[in-house]
Amino acid sequence: MGIVERKEREKEEMRKLILEAAQKLFLENGFEKVSIRNIADAIEYSPATIYLYFKDKNELLYGIHNIGFHKMIQEFQPALSLADPFDRLVEMGRRYFRFAFENPEHFDLMFIMNAPMDALACRDDIWDEGRAAFGLLVKCVQDCMNAGVFKYQDAEVAAMMIWSAVHGYTALFLRKRLDMFEESRRKELMEDAFTLFIETIRKGL
Amino acid sequence: MGIVERKEREKEEMRKLILEAAQKLFLENGFEKVSIRNIADAIEYSPATIYLYFKDKNELLYGIHNIGFHKMIQEFQPALSLADPFDRLVEMGRRYFRFAFENPEHFDLMFIMNAPMDALACRDDIWDEGRAAFGLLVKCVQDCMNAGVFKYQDAEVAAMMIWSAVHGYTALFLRKRLDMFEESRRKELMEDAFTLFIETIRKGL
DNA sequence: CTTGTTTACTAAACAGTGTTTAGTAAGTTT
DNA sequence: AAACTTACTAAACACTGTTTAGTAAACAAG
């Protein structure tokens, strides 16, 4: 009597089909320029079908946001296995920015756009993906404290401060607020600001 | 023969009428929920009229973004007249966040949304408002260096690093990425992270 | 004062958008 | 074979930003 199981499998596969077609279109054309109808066309189903698998567009974007987190966590792995906790922290910072730079649409969805958070708020659910990722950072900061690199002792507060600094220039860059600097100066400025931040917390935290 | 002058005045007034009606609606309902038709209704003109005064919606949003910058610069004034340069820097940071908290729609337009930057990019113009505001920060950081508060000597890089840190938690907060912390903890965490950042740069920069 | 021209404005249309509803056809169960 | 359930869709609804063609008033020139 595996019919119900098969149906469930098919349902899951359909969700995946939609999600991956949507992701492909979004990454290719940007979020503003992709509609439910475009996605429906790509998978050769009617637009209404998508609403049988996702409550609304926010829910769909939330699904892609999840894929983004998987990708990011994976790309963080090499950083996490570095021996020195401070090196680990620096490498995590670099990878945060590099991920944003190489996957701007995913990063947008994960940390800037309203849509995925609205989907969560509607179900009044908690942002588990964000919590987990932040947890990685807190752990790393805690290791730095245990190793005596930082004198300050509240790892969560320190992690928040570090996340802010790295997220700040990443978000400003992505939303073109650093375009006021000429391209070569911009790259230099971001690199130097990051290095300066690292040196500052090494001395002052 | 003041006819052409009067016409120019009327044209300017009409722009202002549209801009302020638009701003009012945007601040009341948020940007996602206001259309050109809504604005047209509010001023009792047809939608097409708006396009005689603004190239497109991005241009209109850019206009409101400018009003936001005027407001922000004004609210920065008291900070700028503090005697001690480091106090000045701290107060600027506090006011950056307070402005965002009290004027989230304006802040969004100024530092997060794509629309106003797209309007600039189309005219391939430079972001003067951002440059001017960043200039204030650079000057303040330079004063801190001259006063010997900071040892590091590149004011622009240091300003970039400081802007990043303050913008980071502001943007994360505004885009609901800190909602994973319970409300009271969230306020505390932001406050503590800011204080920690201030203490860290005081010691380490 | 009557022309011709310019200006300011709008009705209506175009080409889209997210989403819902009512209905169909195939698969499954009895 | 009949009844029920599921998966799907055509078409509509109520919007969106934007453009076009046309009108009526304001102005300038003869």
CA atoms within a 13 Å half-sphere pointing along the CA-CB vector of A128: 6
Provide φ and ψ at B127, rounded to 5°.
-85, 80
Percent over 90 (pLDDT), chain A = 93
Give dist(CA B92, CA B89) in Å, integer.
Answer: 5
Residue A1 has pLDDT above 60, yes or no: no
Give dist(CA A86, CA A112) in Å, integer.
Answer: 27
Same fold yes or no, A1-54 and A56-204: no
**B9-51: per-residue pLDDT in tens?**
888 899 999 999 999 999 999 999 999 999 999 999 999 999 9
- Residue A203's pLDDT is 92
Tokens linked to B162: 């400081």
Interatomic CA–C1' length for residue B199 and nucleotide C28, angstroms: 69
CATH no. of A56-204: 1.10.357.10
- Residue B83's pLDDT is 94
Residue B175 per-residue DSSP state: T
- Residue B1's pLDDT is 53
Give dist(CA B76, CA B94) in Å, integer.
Answer: 10
Q: Is the CB of A10 under 7 A from strand D?
A: yes
Tell me how far CA of residue B155 lies from CA of A75, B132, B146, B178, in angstroms.
33, 15, 10, 30
Tokens linked to A169: 């220039």
Percent over 70 (pLDDT), chain A = 98
Tokens linked to A146: 């245990």
For the residues B98-120, what does the mean pLDDT come to? 97
- Residue B120's pLDDT is 96
- The CATH number fitting domain B57-204, selected from 2.60.40.420, 3.30.930.10, 1.10.357.10, 1.10.10.10: 1.10.357.10
Q: Is the CB of B41 under 7 A from strand D?
A: no
Interatomic CA–C1' length for residue A126 and nucleotide C3, angstroms: 74
Nearest nucleotide from residue B58 CA, by C1' atom? D17
Tokens linked to A122: 């509607």
Closest to A164 measured CA to CA, from B96, B192, B169, B94 = B169
Closest to B24 measured CA to CA, from B9, B4, B38 = B38
Give dist(CA B8, CA B3) in Å, integer.
Answer: 9
Nearest nucleotide from residue A58 CA, by C1' atom? C18
**Domain parsing of chain B, residue ranges:** 1-54, 57-204
| Straight-line distance from the first to the last Cα atom of chain A, in angstroms, rounded to the nearest whole number | 62
Non-local CB neighbours of A5 within 8 Å, separated by 6+ positions: none
**B129-186: per-residue pLDDT in tens?**
999 999 999 999 999 999 999 999 999 999 999 999 999 999 999 999 999 999 999 9
- Residue A118's pLDDT is 96
Sign of the dihedral defined by the CA atoms of residues A129, A130, A136, A139, in that order: negative
Q: Any idea which fold A1-54 has? A: Arc Repressor Mutant, subunit A (1.10.10)
Give dist(CA B112, CA B175) in Å, integer.
Answer: 9
- Token pair 């945007």 in the structure block, residue: B26
Q: Is the CB of B35 under 7 A from strand D?
A: yes
Residue B3 has pLDDT above 80, yes or no: no
Burial of A61 (0-12, 13-18, 19+ CB in 10 A): buried
Residues B57 and B115: beta-carbon distance below 8 Å? yes
Give dist(CA B13, CA A71) in Å, integer.
Answer: 51
Instruction: Return residues 95-134 of A near B (CB < 8 Å).
Output: 111-114, 117, 121, 126-127, 130-131, 134
